[in-house]
Amino acid sequence: MLAYRLETVVPPNGELQITSLPFHPGEAIEVIILARHHVRVNPNQFPLQGSVLTYEDPTEPVAVDDWDALQ
């Protein structure tokens, strides 16, 4: 079974046109359409992106005193 995947967005008229399929004319195929709900990106998904101005000691360990195994 040869699978062909195409990701697209439904246009305002609600009709999809698929061209240049890798199948021969007259060949029997099965069409399955799946909704991709997680494709929509929330514009506020990364609210802190770009908010860091400087890093102070970025490679130093954090909260070393809180680790019981290191005592």
Note whether residue 15 is domain-resident. Answer: yes
Region for residue 66 given its phi and psi (left: phi exceeds 0; alpha: psi -120 to 50; beta: otherwise): alpha
- Is position 44 within any domain? no
Query: What is the pLDDT at residue 62?
Result: 79
Name which residue leads in pLDDT, 71 or 50. Answer: 50
SS3 labels along 9-69: CCCCCCCCCCCCCCCCCCCCCCCCCCCCHHHCCCCCCCCCCCCCCCCCCCCCCCCHHHCHH
Model's pTM, two decimal places? 0.43
| pLDDT tens track for 5-62 | 888 888 999 999 888 888 899 999 999 988 877 656 667 778 888 887 888 888 888 7
pLDDT for 46: 80
Q: How many domains does the chain have?
A: 1
Q: Structural domain of residue 9, as residue ranges?
A: 1-38
